[in-house]
Structure 1
Amino acid sequence: MTGSTTQGIKTVLHPVSDLAAATALYTALLGVKPMAEGDYYVGFEAEGQQIGLVPNGGPQAMTSPVAYWHVLDIEAKLAEVTAAGATLKDAPRDVGGGRLVATFTDLDGNVLGLIQDR
């Protein structure tokens, strides 16, 4: 095996058109109340998974759910996947608390995400 490994998919963001309605539905589905609620994001922690709701597709104009792989070194992992044929979509950026996120597309145009916690 070459390169750095991931810590697995722990976060999935879902674009929603009605944040309040989606919050109610995901609360019922997951059986827990949101751990974070704002106008721009509602987040749940359920069985070790972070499920996020992003209104109106969010800043990245999401059109479908995006799975985020947690990594120790986001820059190194981006270098590995782009060398293997991926295309950078959104460069790493701090979304608060030192958490870095980035997205890329695979060879078929699927959007995948990376998260690095500092």
Structure 2
Amino acid sequence: MLRGLTTVSFFADDIPAARDWYTELLGIEPYFTRPVEGPPAYVEFRLGDYQHELGIVDSRFAPHGRSGQAGQAGQAGGAVVYWHVDDVHAAFERLLSLGATVHAKPVERGPGFVTASVVDPFGNILGVMYNKHYLEIFGV
């Protein structure tokens, strides 16, 4: 039934600020913006080995509404989606240096599995994970 990750949607009140923050974090520009002219209501990045999509949606379009202030871990919203990284501790520190706040510090979950998560400046939970199964797909 579930065939793979297509798009992860995060919400933000300030799309240009979120676009700039994620551009800095990812080192790439979004490949898609809607609308094309005027202030964006949606931007989308393709990233990683499989070119998964990360979409940033204007909060006014959130189907469930938004509660709390951006960056407050106790009021962050959404599921925790983990993105594979080669070094969880380094990725976690970089996210904090860019203004994210701690959601869950790095934890070894077992041999070959380390997770951590932050709350981005827009109130979304962003997970990073070293996952040996992810690397096995590439024969690493």
Given the two structures, how large is their TM-score scaled by the length of structure 2?
A: 0.39
More strand by share: 1
